[in-house]
Amino acid sequence: MEWTEENMLLLIPLGLGWLAVWWLMPTNTKRPRILGGLAAVAALLMLQMMLLPPAGDLVRNGLFFLFAGTAVITAGLMITDRSPVYSALWFALVTLAVCGLFLLNSAPFLAASTIIVYAGAIIVTFMFVIMLAQQSGTSSSYDQQPFQPAVASLGAFLLLGALLFTLQEWGGIDGKNAPDEPKTGQFVALPAGIAANPLSQAPADNPREIGSLRVLGRSLFGDYLFAVELAGTVLLIATIGAIALAPRRSQGTL
């Protein structure tokens, strides 16, 4: 009980957010959507104390709110929109907004490559499939209704809650007033072996270079070489598997 009281500030917005998303999910019955919207706004406002960035300069904070707000709101819209095409578009906007956050945290290459891969390729493929399956105007009910709205959103909010609690452990509300200076340029402490590698350090004269292509490449192909090669191999196997699974032309494709 004590724990619940202590963490009221997180539990109430999480519950409100869950209610809002569940309420906004498309259904057959007419619901006043404004109620869900109000609940969502209330949840965001309560969480705001935790999510506010530390006091920084005005432009940075403004951009942060622009990108973060867009990301959260469009993510909600993506889940609750009735039309799959609009959902895919909101997803594209979520990706763009998150890339804006990457840029703010001086990771331009991550931002650009996320745009190329997600917004430029994956969501375009989604759109391709949706267009094949569903023409504008015609609507099939199975595409427009969630199967388990309450349970699915509960699961998602449990995950979100776990994330927020972890963040709180790391600083959260109490650590908020710490000055906004990246201490080593990393969010999580590096393993000792990697921290000792001179290649993965930002040059002393230009600490902003930590997110640049040069440092990123050195880190990926120096410290994390094994993981990178492993991921590449898994992708290659997946590609070969996809080609093997696809029917031959002689067997009649499509």
Contacting another protein within 77-96 (CB under 8 A): 85, 89, 92
* DSSP class per residue in 150-162: HHHHHHHHHHHHH
| 242 interacts with another protein by CB under 8 A | no
CA dist., res. 11 & res. 47, Å (int) = 10
| 109 interacts with another protein by CB under 8 A | yes
> Closest distance between another protein and the C-beta of residue 76, in Å?
19
> Closest distance between another protein and the C-beta of residue 24, in Å?
19
| 125 interacts with another protein by CB under 8 A | yes
| 115 interacts with another protein by CB under 8 A | yes
| 238 interacts with another protein by CB under 8 A | no
CA dist., res. 189 & res. 9, Å (int) = 28
Q: Token pair of 3, please?
A: 């724990």
Are 90 and 77 a contacting pair, CB within 8 Å? yes
The single residue among 49, 52, 131, 234 that binds another protein, judged by CB under 8 A, is 131
Q: Closest by alpha carbon to 26, among 172, 119, 153?
A: 153
Q: Closest by alpha carbon to 82, among 147, 136, 27?
A: 27
| 137 interacts with another protein by CB under 8 A | yes
The residues binding another protein (CB under 8 A) are 85, 89, 92, 108-109, 111-113, 115-116, 119-121, 124-125, 127-128, 131-132, 135-137, 212-213
